[in-house]
Amino acid sequence: MRKFLTKKLGYEQFGYFCLMNVLKRGFNFYLDSSIHIGFSVYALTYCTLYVFDLPYDEAVLYFTFYGTIVTYNFIKYGSSAKQYFFVATNYLKFIQMLSFVCFVLASYYAFQLQWKTLFLAVGLSLLSSLYIIPFLPKQKNFRTLPGFKISIVALCWTGVTVLLPIVNADIPLAETNVILLGLQRFVLVLVLMIPFEISDLSYDAAALGTLPQRLGIPRTKLLAYVWIVLFVFLEYFIEKSFSTAFFMTVGIGLLLCVSIWQSRIKKSKYFAAFWVESIPIVWFLLLVCV
């Protein structure tokens, strides 16, 4: 009887570890294939629709979701692939297959956008591609230019999550709230990038000139806190009152402060890649549920 129970317990433990291994692999694929980033961009795009009281725009939201997955996977894995497309491992081939499916879906929704929105999307895609494709002497791209890395990412995210839905809705770009929201979104992405900048400090080449390399970690965190205050401050001017949306933004600001405070060199990849990038999704859920 004891032998039977021991064997049964062993099978249960084996099944548990197998299940956990499958879940871990699935979760890693979810992060590595940029699906989580896609949801973050989707969430921020929805936030823009919410601010301007626009109806649910399926074409814009799904285009940004699928397009983000394609773009990020190209940026992450294209530089290590032969001619930017031929990957070496089966794992990367699965990610490439997912990217192809997402490209088809993004193309489907792209042709439901206005032409001016589509032209803007193409421009942002080209700007994103220059993040890894050399276009300057000595094989330099935007990522290798000192100080450009974080600004280009923030600019692209702002363009995708603010300008695309605004342009597609025929709202003038010179409108005050468009400018304020664009600035606020740019600042938000700068803050979201800081944990990545800090965790990659021991891996980044000195020539990159990242903020932690130039300012040190304490000053970089201090700068991030200043940006967070500006992020919340801008929300008041967008809402023009202490509305529910304003206090939601204050809550997001507190989450951002915690993420900066917890940022460390060689922090677990799940901290930045999942928890930090979940903050826009939390913001989206607050807007939907409250």
Confirm whether 14 is domain-assigned. no
More confident residue, 244 or 38: 38
Amino acid at 17: F
Residue 7 lies in a domain: no
pLDDT at 83: 44
DSSP 195-245: HHHHHTTTTS-GGG--HHHHH-HHHHHHHHHHHHHHHHHHHHHHHSS--HH
State yes or no: pLDDT of 269 exceeds 70: yes
Lowest mean pLDDT among 70-79, 112-121, 228-237: 70-79
Nearest in space to 130 (alpha carbons), one of 151, 107, 116: 151
Asked which of 6-20, 157-171, 175-189, 256-270 is least confident by mean pLDDT, the reply is 6-20
Provide the β-strand partners of residue 136: 140
Read off the pLDDT band of 5 (50, 70, 90).
very low
The amino acid sitting at 194 is I
Q: Which of 215, 245, 282 is nearest to 53 (CA)?
A: 245
pLDDT at 128 over 70: yes
User: Whose CA is closest to 284, among 194, 161, 180?
Assistant: 161
- Paired residues of 82 in beta bridges: 86
Q: If DSSP states are collapsed to H, E and C, what string results for 181-207? A: HHHHHHHHHHHHHHHHHHHCCCCCCHH
* pLDDT at site 113: 95
In which band, very low, low, confident or very high, does the pLDDT at 283 lie, cut at 50, 70 and 90?
Answer: very high
The total domain count for the chain is 1
Q: Do the domain assignments include residue 21?
A: no
CA dihedral defined by 91, 94, 96, 98, rounded to 10 degrees?
-140
Whether the predicted pLDDT of 60 surpasses 90: yes
Distances, alpha carbon 150 to alpha carbons 73, 256, 264, in Å: 18, 17, 18
Residue 25 domain-assigned (yes or no): no
Instruction: Give a yes or no: residue 259 inside a domain.
Output: yes
Contact between 74 and 99 under an 8 Å Cβ cutoff? The reply is yes
**Residue 26 placed within a domain:** no
Looking at residue 241, its pLDDT comes to: 80
Residue 160 falls within a domain, yes or no? yes
pLDDT at 9 over 80: no
Q: Is residue 282 part of a domain?
A: yes
Q: What is the pLDDT of residues 184-237, one digit of tens each?
A: 999 999 999 999 888 877 776 666 778 888 888 899 999 999 999 999 999 999
Domain span holding position 264: 33-289
Average pLDDT, the chain: 85
Per-residue pLDDT of 12-53, as tens digits, reads 555 556 677 788 888 999 999 999 999 999 999 999 999 999
Lowest mean pLDDT among 127-141, 177-191, 250-264, 265-279: 127-141
Predicted confidence at residue 84, as pLDDT, reads 47
Res 138: pLDDT = 57
